[in-house]
Amino acid sequence: MFWDRPLIGAGLGMYEKMIKTPAYRLADDYPYIHTTRDMYLHAHNLYLEVAAEMGIIGLFSFILIFVVFFRNAFTKFRRIADPDIKAVLIGFSAIVAATLVFANGFSVITIGMNDSLMFWFIMGMAAGLIPLDERIKNGDIRQPC
């Protein structure tokens, strides 16, 4: 699928629709609870799926988001004086890093609304903490007692 459109990709969310496999449904006697019998296909590698759906441009942009995030977080981490903010930033950044490593074997960011929503929420919280220490020093935000 990537080689069909390497520059711009097939389109966001098109991996499952364009994958060339026969349609598959779970057997009628398969024990399932609170789920459908449909199968959702994905690449089992986030980066390959992003490359197939968004091409080289999209994959580069996607990776650039995390490169900038970790560069800013690491730079800020070394200068943060407040140990509480430092600990929370380390925790959130570690969750983001662990998810990106885990993404080599699963498409957690693009598949599954709950997992995806939680990942982007945690990354947003971490990104919001990066400039927080500067705003406390400048008096823009009151430091907690």
Contacts of 118 (CB under 8 A, 6+ apart): none
Whether pTM exceeds 0.85: no
CB 1 within 8 A of CB 18: yes
Beta-carbon count within 10 A of 123 CB: 20
pLDDT of residue 32: 62
**Per-chain mean pLDDT for the chain:** 76
pLDDT of residue 66: 93
Per-residue pLDDT tens digits for 80-138: 777 888 888 899 999 999 988 988 877 766 555 556 778 888 888 888 887 765 555 65
